[in-house]
Chains A and B, each alone.
Chain A
Amino acid sequence: MTRITARRRHPLARYAVLLLALALLGVGYAAFSPKSQSADAAIASGKVDDVKAGEELFKSHCLSCHGPEARGTADGPTLVGVGAAAVDFQMSSGRMPATTVGAQVPRKPLPAWVTQKKIDQIAAYVQSLGGGPTVPSKDQVDPAKGDPAKGGELFRANCISCHNWAGAGGALTQGKYAPNLNSSSPAQIYEAMITGPQAMPVFNDSTITPQQKRDMIAYIVSVREQTDPGGFGLGRIGPVTEGLVAWIVGIGGLVLAAIWITAKRRQAND
């Protein structure tokens, strides 16, 4: 007791206490941080082989732009910390590997070599580099489990200012655009929200909870699968196509009718 009391006054004691506190904090953070947990989980659940395979795939298909160990080059950003979700989103929608560099990388058909398994392997490799958001589970993106009405309110508040009320997409600045959501799978919609690809902001789980994300997916899916009750939807982009139809079909058709009913009868003899 006296020994400790005596050492307490030692000139180095304060440093020892500081070190101890830092060590405790670090260990505590490592224990409770979700990132390290999921990174550990990826490796722990026998996906280490995926990481190895993913690294090979990465070297042959991604390295030229994203650089060794995905540290980034002038042509492509670093992928350290973007997470498996970002890889799954970009590759399953065909955006990556990119073929052209423009204002924005477009969705396109997948190249022949890209399969879900290979996407998973590259995702596991990128996840192993620095963690990040993981691919959502099937349950997290199941439209049937969401509430479309609640999702609709969130969708209108957060998404339609770029993606349009029916997810038809819209223009952004500098040649960028918010893409049409009709071809996005529920998982891709979820991943886009948590990773914020290209011009899109990140909607993390504290802004919009996973349950709310599922509600929004339910809304998007229910609206796009809806048969238009009023006939042809005209692209669901609103008054622009409606005006076009009014002039072309409406005025055009009625002008033809007017020409028809006021036409002179042809003379019988030439």
Chain B
Amino acid sequence: MSTETGNRPETAEIPKAVSGPSSYLDERIGAGNFIRRNMRKVFPDHWSFLLGEIALYSFIILLLTGTFLTLWFKPSMGHVIYDGPYAPLRGVMMSEAYASSLHISFEVRGGLLIRQIHHWAALLFVAGMMAHMLRVFFTGAYRKPRELNWIIGVLLLTLALAEGLTGYSLPDDLLSGAGLRITQGVAISLPLVGTYVSFFLFGGEYPGEDVISRFYTLHVLLIPGILVALVTAHMVLMWVQKHSQQPGKGRTNMNVVGGPFFPSFALKAGSYFLFTFAILAGLGTFAQINPIWLFGPYTPADISAGSQPDFYMGFLEGSLRIMPAWEINVLGYTLPMSVIIPALLPLGLVMTGLALYPFIEQWVTGDRSEHHVVDRPRNNPHRTSIGMSAITFYGLLWLLGANDELAANFHISLFAITRFGQIAIIVGPILAYIITYRMCLGLQRKDAEVIGHGVESGVIKRLPHGEFIEVHVPPAEDIEAHMRGKTPIPALPDGSDEKGIPPKGMRGPLGRLRGRMSRTYGGEKIPMDQPHGDDHGAHEEIGEHEEHAAVGATGEGRSLDR
């Protein structure tokens, strides 16, 4: 463990592997200092800090496998008659895009493996981003100075969804065609501009002859280009701002406790890349994904039961499926609310909510200070509850996107599931909020109890008068430091003058709401070292403090003294 304080890295003993090349480069391009400083950059150790790397490494694998696929893929909707080795499709009319995807799957050496790794990596890319984002959210790691990096992250997630959607459509199979049809349905449902947007996107009537080649350009050039730029910015900012750390022994807002980049963190990151690659290669080898040959070529006339998007689009599918039919006709124009609302509302709520959360929190708490030590989720109960109710909202929609598979495989009525979803999407997030809030407070009480009373040692002691007690000992030093890392959530000062007139920003309905939210959100709900209860009032030293054990005083029990 080494400690980095401020901007001055510890330069005590630099490994030869670093000092050698850095002095070589220093003598030639004067970069020695830069390399020496950055190679010794300290990274804190916690498993959750590696979640974002799943996305990063999946992205690298996506770029490599994707390049392989472009060598054979033909982004064309020109019609061909299939003449390849897959017998059940021989002689069938299909697009060149689909035929070349079949060619990659069945004729190109290693093609199917690479295609499957590419698709699995796409799923892990988005899943890794989501897991990473939840870690950042629940620990409050998005707070100043990292708000901009958080915004970049939200942009990355949005672009990843677009990248996934375009990639999913490229093979032009029947399943992707269903997704494309929904995309077009959403585009054309937009008020006023819908028809134009749809005709612009598809180059005329759906499906037209253009959309695959257009999506191809977006999928292999434009979106990945922006993704690479944003990923780089994300990493540079993280590097420059230094990594946040969990509260713990010796960790403050002014330092980073962990291992140096070289050799310790570079080794861990390198091995984690290999883990990610191993999982992806394993899945690509053993688990079939997107078997386009089973779906058949796309024609707008066909649709299959069980048509689903990839998981990250599942929440949109679910919102569409539980939305009751609702259509408004105004002056001969139709507003298909049953498409507009489910397509735009959940996506807008989730993405806008994510992007704005750091700023809303700052507005509510009035907190303008820097944070490098993250929160434990329990220590900011309202944030954690908001996060959990968002997860419930998203998760329910996601689940209901698969309502037909649930109905078919678990023998539940489809209507019952849909009705359940319509109710649960309102009730679920509220329940999640309340339950999470109570759990957070309960966990905080547990922490306060551990700090106040110590932990059970398993040693039962018999007192001279016959009473049995269990000896409590203070918690381990690092655990106690971790718990004591809790700081009160900042709140706006009441600030009313002696006449009870609130300060300038707190007047009016919005200002009063802000004040009320701040008082609810902020503050210390369960103080750690506060005396509580009558007989524990005077604080003894923890080690000697003895709690009454459940074992009663039964006069003649044998002594259990050590």
Contact = CB atoms under 8 A, between A and B. Distances in A.
A12 interface: no
Contact of B279 (A103, A177, A234, A250): A250
Contact of A219 (B88, B402, B413): B88
Given A149-B88, A168-B306, A240 B405 contact: yes
A170 B306 contact: yes
Nearest to B405: A240
Given A160-B304, A174-B413, A229-B288, A261 B279 contact: no
B393 to A, nearest CB: 18
A229 B105 contact: yes
A153 B298 CA distance: 11
A154 B273 CA distance: 46
A250 B302 contact: no
Interface in A100-159: 103, 148-150, 152-153, 156-157
A153 B92 contact: yes
A223 interface: yes
Interface secondary structure of A, over-half rule: helix
Contacts of A261: 50, 268, 271-272, 275
Interface stretch (A59-67, A83-91, A205-213, A251-259): A251-259
B2 to A, nearest CB: 15
Nearest to B93: A153
A172 interface: yes
A219 B280 CA distance: 32
Interface of A: 103, 148-150, 152-153, 156-157, 160-166, 168-175, 177-178, 219, 222-223, 226, 228-234, 236-240, 242-243, 245-247, 249-251, 253-255, 257-259, 261-264
B304 A243 contact: no
Interface string B258-302: 000000000010011001100110010111111101111001011
Contacts of B112: 229-230
Interface of B: 45-51, 54, 87-92, 105-106, 112, 116, 119-120, 123-124, 127-128, 131, 174-175, 268, 271-272, 275-276, 279-280, 283, 285-291, 293-296, 299, 301-311, 314, 402-405, 407-409, 411, 413-416
A135 B27 CA distance: 91
Given A223-B294, A238-B306, A262 B50 contact: yes
B131 A156 contact: no
B334 to A, nearest CB: 25
A250 B283 contact: yes
Given A148-B87, A242-B310, A165 B288 contact: no
B484 to A, nearest CB: 19
Contacts of A172: 414
Given A153-B92, A259-B47, 20 more contacts: A149-B89, A149-B90, A164-B304, A164-B306, A166-B294, A173-B414, A219-B88, A222-B87, A229-B105, A231-B116, A234-B287, A234-B289, A239-B311, A242-B119, A242-B311, A243-B310, A247-B127, A249-B279, A261-B268, A263-B47
Given A149-B87, A150-B91, A156-B174, A247 B296 contact: no
Contact of B302 (A156, A163, A164, A257): A156
12 contacts: A170-B404, A171-B404, A172-B414, A223-B294, A230-B289, A234-B287, A234-B288, A238-B175, A243-B314, A250-B280, A254-B276, A255-B47
Contact of B305 (A164, A232, A240): A164
Q: Which of B131, B305, B415 has the most CB of A within 10 A?
A: B305
B408 A177 contact: yes
B294 A250 contact: no
A171 B305 contact: yes
Nearest to B173: A165
Contacts of A255: 47, 51, 131
Contact of B306 (A148, A237, A250, A258): A237
A246 B124 contact: yes
A162 B305 contact: yes
A236 B131 CA distance: 27
Given A171-B408, A251-B131, A230 B116 contact: yes
B58 to A, nearest CB: 9
Contact of A169 (B54, B124, B293, B305): B305
Contacts of B123: 242-243, 246, 250
Closest 10 CB pairs of A and B: A170-B305, A243-B311, A230-B288, A171-B407, A246-B123, A175-B413, A258-B47, A258-B50, A257-B275, A160-B304
Contacts of B305: 160-164, 169-171, 178
B302 A160 contact: yes
Contacts of A258: 47-48, 50-51, 272
Contacts of B128: 251, 254
Nearest to B92: A149
Indicate the member of A239, A257, A258 with the most B CB atoms within 10 Å: A239
Contacts of B416: 175
A257 B303 CA distance: 41
A174 B116 CA distance: 37
A174 B45 CA distance: 54
A211 to B, nearest CB: 16
Nearest to A236: B294
Nearest to B58: A250
B374 to A, nearest CB: 15
A262 to B, nearest CB: 5
B291 A148 contact: no
A168 B453 CA distance: 59
A138 B181 CA distance: 41
B255 to A, nearest CB: 19
Nearest to A155: B296
Contacts of B51: 255, 258
Contacts of B301: 157
A133 B124 CA distance: 52
Contacts of B302: 156-157, 160-161
Nearest to B57: A254
A222 B89 CA distance: 11
Contacts of A243: 123, 310-311, 314
Contact of A250 (B90, B120, B307): B120
A113 to B, nearest CB: 27
- Most chain-B Cβ atoms within 10 A of its Cβ — which of A171, A173, A229? A171
Contacts of B88: 148-149, 152, 219, 222-223, 226
Contact of A232 (B175, B288, B307, B414): B288
Nearest to A150: B91
Contacts of B283: 245-246, 249-250
A171 to B, nearest CB: 4
A149 B269 CA distance: 49
Given A243-B123, A243-B311, A251-B127, A170 B271 contact: no
Nearest to A230: B288
Nearest to A162: B305
Contacts of A166: 294
A170 B91 contact: no
Contacts of A246: 120, 123-124, 127, 283, 311
Contacts of A253: 275, 279
A233 B288 contact: yes
A162 B304 CA distance: 7
